[in-house]
Amino acid sequence: MSLSNDIWEIPAQTTDIEGLDAQGRPDPAYAQAIGLVPARAGMRVMATVLELIVALLVSIPGAVAGVNAMLLSTADPGAFLARKDLIWLLLPPLVSFVLMFVFTLVQLVLHGLKGVTLGKAAFGIRTVNVRTLEKPGFWRGAVVRYLILAVSFVVPLIGPLLVVALSPLFDAERRGRGWADRAAATWLVDVRRGLNPYDAKRMRIARKQITTEVHEAAPVLPSLATPVDRDAPAVYVPTGRFSGGVVGAHRATAPTPAVSASAPGVPAPVAPTPAVPAPAVPAPATPVPAAAAETAVQVPAAGAAPAAWQPPEIAPIVAAPAPAAAAPAATPVPDAPRAVLVIDNGERVEVRTATLIGRAPAAGAGDAPSSVAATGEGEPQLVRVSDETRSVSKTHLAILLSRRGVVVVDRGSTNGSSIVREGAELPLTPGHPAELRAGDVLRFGDRSLRVEQA
């Protein structure tokens, strides 16, 4: 039985390269936006001259000894081969050749993997692939480029001057790319005046700033403190009860106007008592003395005859209903975790209270945003995550408990955070809570965690 070849075909894996235009060509505006600066022509020439000087210093002893040996061998070959010091005559050229070979090989390897050579390191220049802005590669980025430079020396002085110094001036993109750079698909950048493309952390941040909206400052959250001045306007109205008690705004009371008695024989008015909320269960009725039930009387206007005083009406006393029997106390339920997080290194974290995640998390003001009614009790849980690249901030995330579920808040981290849910990635806005669900993947810096239960 034969099978069709179509079922064995594997779709090609394509990787999107940032910094290319619609035609797939390198975009100079993208490189300039992330902070890459082209190397100046003078620095390029000086770096090449420095490498040539080192190569000449390595090869001069061997060349002088080799010329001397050639002259002696042509005069009398038999006598030359019979010399007892023949090994000493051939040793300098051999050592010079080995040193020159090692120097060239090291230059090629460093240039292909790190984009740096002796001259480029001295003058702050790095070589990158013009498309990916990463290492140029060994064969095309290093070997092809140096072969073109070596061929240019066939025409002394004029060839190197044309290839190294003059050809970058004809670059239509004005990035200083010469003929050798075009053949090798390389680009020389200045790391002293611009971004170093081999600094992985800074390069990653620069690329993110192009595609992600940068928040200049964290949003200002309202204060949770009760104002000291009782007549100050209310700023925050509480939505729940915290472990420290009810925190919220005060209620200002209106001042009571003073009333003076102007007519003789009229009893002084009693100041009205501020209204207080009625208790949930009314207290048993008790006799009320008549003196305490008197209310304030109005003072007659000037010139009018005083009205006869009448005793105020007293409301009939109604017996209060019997208090309801207290409900039996509920049996305490064990504190179950509200969420279970699995960090990418396999560590499991059970969330029972507010949890702070970072390289060196520390509790501070602003752990619970005003838009979330936190229900966690006690001190926050601190989860330390190791990160050698320092892409994770000291206090990167806050996992909070609310009435609606479990939420996450980005604490204004440097590299940001995002939630991956059903294949879509949602960046987190610093200071704004986002609901977590079971199965979500939370990325923060170069680390990640998975929500196993929420």
* Domain residue ranges in the chain: 28-211, 339-453
| Least confident span in 3-17, 34-48, 84-98 | 3-17
Across residues 185-211, what is the average pLDDT? 91
Average of per-residue pLDDT values in the chain? 75
- Say which residues have a Cβ less than 8 Å from residue 446's Cβ, sequence separation at least 6: 387, 389, 391, 392, 415
* Bigger pLDDT: 211 vs 412: 412
Mean pLDDT of 384-395: 89
What pLDDT does residue 311 have?
58
Q: Is the pLDDT of residue 201 over 80?
A: yes
Q: What is the pLDDT of residues 352-386, one digit of tens each?
A: 889 999 999 987 644 444 334 344 446 889 999 98
- 10 has pLDDT over 60: no
Alpha-carbon distance 39 to 33, whole Å?
Answer: 16
Report yes or no on whether pTM surpasses 0.75: no
When mean pLDDT is compared across 44-58, 82-96, 122-136, the lowest value belongs to 82-96
Distance between CA atoms of residues 387 and 201, nearest Å: 12
Q: Residue 332 above 80 pLDDT?
A: no
H-helix or E-strand spanning residue 88: helix 86-114
Q: What pLDDT does 403 receive?
A: 81
Mind listing the pLDDT tens digit for each residue in 351-360?
A: 988 999 999 9
User: What's residue 315's pLDDT?
Assistant: 54
In the 3-class helix/strand/coil scheme, how is 355-414 assigned residue by residue? EEEECCCCCCCCCCCCCCCCCCCCCCEEEECCCCCCCCCCCCEEEEEECCEEEEEECCCC
User: Looking at the domain covering 339-453, what would its CATH class be?
Assistant: mainly beta
